[in-house]
């Protein structure tokens, strides 16, 4: 009996000793870089989907990213979250919403910059989201990683059947080149990029005001500071609600836990902080679901107050559909 049992154990262990090359047929296709990145859930009768577009590595996540905290404090926050103190990946996550009004996307993805991004098209295909079905693109603000996906390298529209909706405050600022001196040098190319990307949708750009209902069940909520017209979106159907929070907070381990910290990408840090605290205070109080552009995938869940800041609670995967 013991000899027989030993033979059985040996036979079970044998595959683990094979190398990957030995275990895989010679003509087997190469393994994909990752599984398709999308996550679908319900908001009342609406269907929301978050789609992974890649990430950008930040090799100095301390004072190279945060302008009003010392390096030791940032490193402490990263260690508390069990993250590296020398590199943190900042994701790009696009939220889609299917309603009786059609398929809406919030922001357009990066368009493939940097090289670690540009996965939106493949992951949309995996999720069954045809670019031709997108009827609205609702833009939160005009940073390149949010509008770069509007057009291709030839500056042709990627979403040919879509109307584009932009915050009127954001539009007024970035279409006036006399404002170039009011932004950091690194953000000045945004003015030309705005003209290029939205030029591909000539005659199809609508401006909306803070508080406006952009489509049934979706309202614009001002969250200024990150940029002059940065806007987030409140989705409601029946008793369910969702906040699409764009860049109101970047990585939650830093900017939610320490909402007073300002990013190098914030044009007005104090205003961005006030917007962040007000928005996530509301989300926490209402126990509402949220998605975010720069949270770890699938970038949706809930927020709780935690001391002077907030804590992100990822949604239970059983809520996916």
The domain that holds 284 is classified in CATH as 3.60.15.10
Q: Are 173 and 228 in contact (CB under 8 A)?
A: yes
Q: List, for the chain, all residue ranges whose pLDDT scores fall below the cut of 50.
A: 1-25
Answer yes or no: is 289 within a domain: yes
Answer yes or no: is 1 within a domain: no
**Residue 300 φ/ψ, nearest 5 degrees:** -150, 150
Q: What is the reported pLDDT for 28?
A: 52
Answer yes or no: is 27 within a domain: no
Q: What is the reported pLDDT for 240?
A: 97
Q: What is the reported pLDDT for 318?
A: 76
Distances (CA, A) of 150 to 81, 159, 194, 196, 200: 34, 7, 10, 10, 8
Answer yes or no: is 284 within a domain: yes
Q: Structurally, how many domains does the chain consist of?
A: 1
- The distance from CA 89 to its chain's CA centroid, rounded to whole angstroms, is 12
Answer yes or no: is 87 within a domain: yes
Answer yes or no: is 48 within a domain: yes
Answer yes or no: is 20 within a domain: no
Answer yes or no: is 19 within a domain: no
Domain span at residue 141? 36-313
Give the separation between CA 206 and CA 165, rounded to whole angstroms: 5
Q: What is the reported pLDDT for 33?
A: 62
Which residues lie closer than 8 Å to 190 by C-beta, 6 or more apart? 142, 143, 144, 174, 183
Q: What is the reported pLDDT for 16?
A: 34
């Amino acid at each position: 009996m013991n000899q027989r049992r030993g033979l059985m154990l040996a036979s079970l262990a044998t595959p683990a000793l094979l190398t990957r090359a030995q275990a895989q047929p010679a003509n087997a296709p190469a393994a994909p870089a990752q599984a398709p990145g999308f996550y679908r859930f319900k908001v009342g009768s609406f269907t929301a989907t978050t789609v992974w577009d890649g990430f950008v590595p930040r090799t100095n996540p301390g004072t190279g990213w945060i302008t009003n905290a010392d390096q030791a404090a940032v490193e402490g926050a990263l260690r508390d979250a069990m993250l590296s103190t020398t590199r943190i990946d900042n994701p790009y996550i696009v939220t889609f919403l299917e309603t009786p009004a059609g398929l809406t996307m919030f922001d357009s993805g990066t368009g493939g910059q940097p090289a670690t991004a540009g996965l939106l098209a493949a992951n949309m295909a995996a999720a069954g989201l045809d670019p031709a079905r997108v009827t609205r693109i609702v833009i939160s603000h005009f940073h390149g990683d949010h509008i770069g996906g509007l057009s291709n390298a030839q500056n042709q529209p990627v979403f040919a059947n879509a109307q584009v909706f932009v915050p009127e405050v954001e539009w007024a600022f970035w279409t006036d080149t006399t404002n170039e001196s009011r932004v950091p040098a690194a953000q000045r190319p945004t003015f030309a990029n705005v003209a290029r990307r939205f030029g591909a949708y000539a005659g199809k750009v609508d401006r909306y005001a803070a508080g406006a209902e952009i489509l049934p069940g979706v309202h614009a909520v001002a969250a200024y500071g990150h940029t002059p017209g940065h806007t987030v979106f409140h989705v409601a159907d029946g008793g369910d609600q969702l906040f699409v929070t764009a860049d109101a907070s970047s990585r939650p381990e830093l900017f939610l836990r320490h909402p007073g910290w300002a990013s190098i990408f914030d044009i007005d840090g104090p205003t961005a902080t006030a917007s962040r605290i007000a928005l996530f205070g509301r989300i926490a109080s209402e126990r509402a679901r949220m998605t975010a552009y720069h949270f770890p995938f699938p970038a949706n869940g809930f927020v709780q107050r935690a001391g002077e800041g907030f804590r992100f609670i990822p949604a239970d995967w059983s809520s996916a559909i």
